[in-house]
Chain A
Amino acid sequence: MNRTLVIGCALLAPIVALAAVSLAWTPYGPADTTGGRLTPPGAAHLLGTDRLGRDLLTLVMIGARTALTTGVLAVAISALIGVAGGLAAGFAGRLADDVLAAALDILIAFPALILALLVVAAVRPSLFATVLAIGLAMSAVLARLTRALVKGVLAQDYITASRASGTSWPRIVTGHVLPNIWPALSVNLALQLGLAVLAEASLAYLGLGAPQPDISWGRLLREAQATVFTSPISLIAPGLLLAMLVAGANLAAQGLRLAADPALRVTR
């Protein structure tokens, strides 16, 4: 493990812990409004309460769960579509590859968030729609990366040798291509986790994320905007955790890259 990876994981760990604990226990129920309006942090409410009197720590914990779930699921969708699409393009004939590459370039030219907004606007806002929208929006980048990596591997002599010795294409994909492109892909997936969480928060902040009673950091930030002068903690808590998660995912990605790429290790 290199230092960057350790720092990244250290930033992610408390958030994963919060989310995991929230599955079994939260200080209060998410719908419990007995805390009083904007109660400052104290023994009864470690982070205070929101306008409705809900415990902020409870909301933030459940928000961590939402953030991680959306992030991981969106990355999974992106990986599934992106890698499959990239492989197809990598193996495709000249014409099909050109068409796919052009389509991907057009998709990438759209900012991911705008693409996600379009998807959410087309279907009813829900957690599923959010995940799908973000996953789809991010899959284009992954598809292009996979395509380039696949092309690189396929040009190698050992693939030609393998083909000559009669190995089938599916065996080549699982035996040679995927293991060789995986390190680079995993770095990209970790990066995408951070972006996906940020996109989820942005959609929720704009009121287009999962609707109530689902709790999201983005929605907490939106609600906290009105009370920023009277209760800054309600803005700071979800904001800080969001920053930690995104920074953690980025550092972890960079750490993975360092670990995966011997050339980089040498230069350091």
Chain B
Amino acid sequence: MKQQGTALTGLCLTRLTVVFSALALIAGLASCAARTAEPRGEIPLNVGSLYEPQNLDNVGGGGQGATEALAGNVYEGLFKITDSGAVEKSLAESYLTAPDGLTYTFHLRPGVRFHSGDPLTAADVKYSLERILAASSKSSRKSSLGVIKTIAAPDDTTVVVTLSSKSISFVYNLGFVWIVNDKDTDPATQEDGTGPYRLAEWRRGATLTLTRSDRYWGAPAKSARVVFHYFTDAAAMNNALLTGAVDVVTSEQSPDALAQFNQDHSFTISEGRSTTKLLLAFNDRVPPFNDARIRRAVSSAIDDHKLLNAIWNGHGMVIGSMVPPTDPWYEDLTGVNPYDVALAKRLLTEAGKPSGFTFTLDTPTYDPHPTIAAFVVSELAKVGITAKINSISADEWYSKVFQKHDFTATLQEHVNDRDIRWYADPNFYWGYDNKKVSDWVIRSESAGSAEEQIELLRKVARQIAEDAASDWLYLNPQIVVSASKVTGYPVNGLNAQFFVYDIVKR
């Protein structure tokens, strides 16, 4: 009996184990099923990107990645720059400009709350503007917002800003100022914005997750959860898209990678217009490039279309000046310094260098610069000019070229919109010095109307092209690839913004 009992107990135990195991299995399966059967719109949207933020603060050196993930998604400005480059009111419900153009009064949208629950007040706006202007600020808009003289918050919903001189771009520039809660003590690692998403988690080196904010004042975001996946390698990012690990990538950097996607109907490729211009920048202060004829000769000796085709295989465009088509003063100036080897030789002869000359081309070591340098060397050899490539790191470029102006010519990408104004500053690294151009740029800022501003800046664009102040080789395309079930993403990604709130995954 005893033995039997023991056997019985053993049997029971075995049975129990089986039953429990089965239950556990069923529970496990059920939880899996629950996970896969999330309601529509609850499936996270996975975004692939090569630009992880340095930190979360666009005033504290967060970089392109911080803008991409957070601008418009987590943080909003008084105004918003849409994907087509238009200015729309966002946290400002209305505003008034005094007749002298120096005083702006902004009325804030009522009922807006930060993600922490704190209401948006005029003090927050004042604080946010002061942050940009602070000595420690690394904001790229700091210099253009330098016209701000005073900021006052007479009541909770009104902000009054006075300027030291008229600035027609002031409202546009405000589109890049994130309004942050003045109680947020550490914006580099935590956010408190007003946008349609709140930051859920940032796993450095891997992912940044946004979840829909239920406090949002406007139309709620369409996807409940968005995960940015960061890659350091474009091939790995493309593989993630191919295998469905990500649904959309913010920008493709190689046209040859598109071959994997354009045969396949389950992917959509969209090409928008970027603001990234690739420049062969001369040092206009020093010989031989202090002579406009030499600069024009170099510009005419290089076949920009062939270069663009080599690098981007039919994508992107040749621009002929410092203005991308999304800037209102764009005009096709590719005819000013056309590709014409005979003209280049004639200009060299006129400038007293019929047999060419030798110069050093400071070339950043990272792509696409080395490839472009090889092309420039081979093109210039045809007119007798010898370019010697000097490879320099990004840091070296910044100190040697940008700060010390110790260079003859260099290659560099300029990513911002509306950056033609740097030709008005003789102290900028390329040292273009033309009083007329400086005057036009200053007058364009104090212009009374947009038409006047556009007209003046068109003159600037034409003048710098005629002087070949730099050689604008081409404008990058902005290529977004997504799974075809994904719609509603921005195609231009202007100024590295990537609004995710309208993206829908079917």
Q: B residues 331-385 with Cβ under 8 Å of A?
A: 363, 365-367, 370-371, 373-375, 377-379, 381
Contacting residues, chain B, for A229 (C-beta < 8 A):
256-257, 259-260
Complex alpha-carbon distance, A212 and B311, angstroms: 17
B256 lies within 8 A of A212 (CB): no
Contacting residues, chain B, for A105 (C-beta < 8 A):
none
**Using an 8 Å CB-CB cutoff, how does the interface string of A84-105 with B read, 1 for contact, 0 for none?**
0000000000000000000000
Q: A37-B313, A225-B235, A230-B259 are in contact. Are A51 and B378 (CB under 8 A)?
A: no
B373 lies within 8 A of A226 (CB): no
Chain A: minimal CB distance from B397 (Å)? 14
A227 interfacial contact with B, CB 8 Å: yes
Q: A residues 15-38 with Cβ under 8 Å of B?
A: 31-33, 37-38
B391 interfacial contact with A, CB 8 Å: yes
A212 lies within 8 A of B365 (CB): no
Complex alpha-carbon distance, A213 and B311, angstroms: 18
25 A–B pairs (Cβ distance < 8 Å), ordered by A: A31-B378, A31-B381, A32-B378, A33-B375, A37-B310, A38-B256, A51-B310, A51-B311, A52-B310, A52-B371, A52-B374, A52-B375, A125-B391, A207-B366, A207-B370, A211-B390, A212-B363, A212-B370, A225-B235, A226-B254, A226-B256, A229-B256, A229-B259, A230-B256, A230-B259
A53 interfacial contact with B, CB 8 Å: yes
Contacting residues, chain A, for B260 (C-beta < 8 A):
229
Contacting residues, chain B, for A32 (C-beta < 8 A):
378
Contacting residues, chain A, for B363 (C-beta < 8 A):
211-212
Q: A37-B310, A226-B256, A229-B256 are in contact. Are A31 and B377 (CB under 8 A)?
A: yes
Contacting residues, chain B, for A230 (C-beta < 8 A):
256, 259
Contacting residues, chain B, for A51 (C-beta < 8 A):
256, 310-311, 371
Chain A: minimal CB distance from B274 (Å)? 18
Interface residues on chain B, number (Cβ under 8 Å): 28
Complex alpha-carbon distance, A62 and B367, angstroms: 22
A213 lies within 8 A of B257 (CB): no
The 4 A-B residue pairs whose C-beta atoms are closest, nearest first, are A31-B378, A211-B391, A227-B256, A226-B254
**Using an 8 Å CB-CB cutoff, how does the interface string of A202-224 with B read, 1 for contact, 0 for none?**
00000100011100000100010
Q: Which of A37, A54, A219 contacts B309 (CB 8 A)?
A: A37
Q: A53-B310, A227-B256 are in contact. Are A212 and B366 (CB under 8 A)?
A: no
Q: Which of B309, B313, B377 contacts A213 (CB 8 A)?
A: B377
Q: How large is the interface on A (under 10, 10 to 19, 20 to 34, 35 or more residues)?
A: 20 to 34
Contacting residues, chain A, for B371 (C-beta < 8 A):
51-52, 223
B370 lies within 8 A of A211 (CB): yes
Q: A207-B366, A229-B260 are in contact. Are A212 and B381 (CB under 8 A)?
A: no
**Using an 8 Å CB-CB cutoff, how does the interface string of B232-266 with A read, 1 for contact, 0 for none?**
00110000000000000000001011011000000
Complex alpha-carbon distance, A219 and B259, angstroms: 23
B279 interfacial contact with A, CB 8 Å: no
Contacting residues, chain B, for A225 (C-beta < 8 A):
235
Complex alpha-carbon distance, A192 and B377, angstroms: 35
B306 interfacial contact with A, CB 8 Å: yes
Contacting residues, chain A, for B389 (C-beta < 8 A):
211-213
Complex alpha-carbon distance, A226 and B254, angstroms: 6
Complex alpha-carbon distance, A38 and B309, angstroms: 11
Where chain A touches its partner, the secondary structure class is loop
Chain B: minimal CB distance from A37 (Å)? 6
Contacting residues, chain B, for A228 (C-beta < 8 A):
256
Complex alpha-carbon distance, A213 and B378, angstroms: 10
Complex alpha-carbon distance, A207 and B378, angstroms: 21
**Using an 8 Å CB-CB cutoff, how does the interface string of B9-28 with A read, 1 for contact, 0 for none?**
00000000000000000000
Contacting residues, chain B, for A38 (C-beta < 8 A):
256
Q: A37-B313, A211-B370, A212-B374 known; 8 other A-B pairs, CB under 8 Å?
A: A32-B378, A38-B256, A51-B310, A54-B374, A213-B389, A229-B256, A229-B257, A229-B260
B310 lies within 8 A of A212 (CB): no
Nearest residue in A to B259 (C-beta to C-beta)? A229
Contacting residues, chain B, for A231 (C-beta < 8 A):
256
Complex alpha-carbon distance, A89 and B391, angstroms: 40
Nearest residue in A to B309 (C-beta to C-beta)? A37
Complex alpha-carbon distance, A53 and B310, angstroms: 8
Complex alpha-carbon distance, A230 and B254, angstroms: 11
Contacting residues, chain A, for B365 (C-beta < 8 A):
125, 207, 211
Complex alpha-carbon distance, A64 and B235, angstroms: 27
B235 lies within 8 A of A33 (CB): no
Contacting residues, chain B, for A125 (C-beta < 8 A):
365, 391
Chain A: minimal CB distance from B310 (Å)? 5
Complex alpha-carbon distance, A51 and B375, angstroms: 10
Contacting residues, chain A, for B374 (C-beta < 8 A):
31, 52, 54, 212-213
Contacting residues, chain A, for B257 (C-beta < 8 A):
226, 229
Q: A52-B375, A229-B257 are in contact. Are A33 and B381 (CB under 8 A)?
A: no
**Using an 8 Å CB-CB cutoff, how does the interface string of A34-75 with B read, 1 for contact, 0 for none?**
000110000000000001111000000000000000000000
Complex alpha-carbon distance, A195 and B256, angstroms: 32
Complex alpha-carbon distance, A52 and B374, angstroms: 9
Contacting residues, chain B, for A212 (C-beta < 8 A):
363, 370, 373-374, 377, 389, 391
Chain A: minimal CB distance from B433 (Å)? 31
Nearest residue in B to A219 (C-beta to C-beta)? B370
Complex alpha-carbon distance, A227 and B238, angstroms: 13
Nearest residue in A to B313 (C-beta to C-beta)? A37
Complex alpha-carbon distance, A118 and B373, angstroms: 26
**Using an 8 Å CB-CB cutoff, how does the interface string of B54-81 with A read, 1 for contact, 0 for none?**
0000000000000000000000000000
**Using an 8 Å CB-CB cutoff, how does the interface string of A173-201 with B read, 1 for contact, 0 for none?**
00000000000000000000000000000
Interface-centre pick from A32, A37, A219, A223 (highest chain B CB count, 10 A): A37
Complex alpha-carbon distance, A37 and B312, angstroms: 10
Contacting residues, chain A, for B373 (C-beta < 8 A):
212
Complex alpha-carbon distance, A53 and B371, angstroms: 11
Contacting residues, chain A, for B375 (C-beta < 8 A):
33, 52
Complex alpha-carbon distance, A231 and B310, angstroms: 13
Q: B residues 135-178 with Cβ under 8 Å of A?
A: none
**Using an 8 Å CB-CB cutoff, how does the interface string of B34-58 with A read, 1 for contact, 0 for none?**
0000000000000000000000000
Q: A residues 223-244 with Cβ under 8 Å of B?
A: 223, 225-231
Contacting residues, chain B, for A33 (C-beta < 8 A):
306, 310, 375, 378-379
Contacting residues, chain A, for B313 (C-beta < 8 A):
37
Complex alpha-carbon distance, A31 and B378, angstroms: 5
Chain A: minimal CB distance from B138 (Å)? 26
Complex alpha-carbon distance, A53 and B373, angstroms: 14
Chain A: minimal CB distance from B481 (Å)? 14
Contacting residues, chain B, for A31 (C-beta < 8 A):
374, 377-378, 381
Chain A: minimal CB distance from B392 (Å)? 9
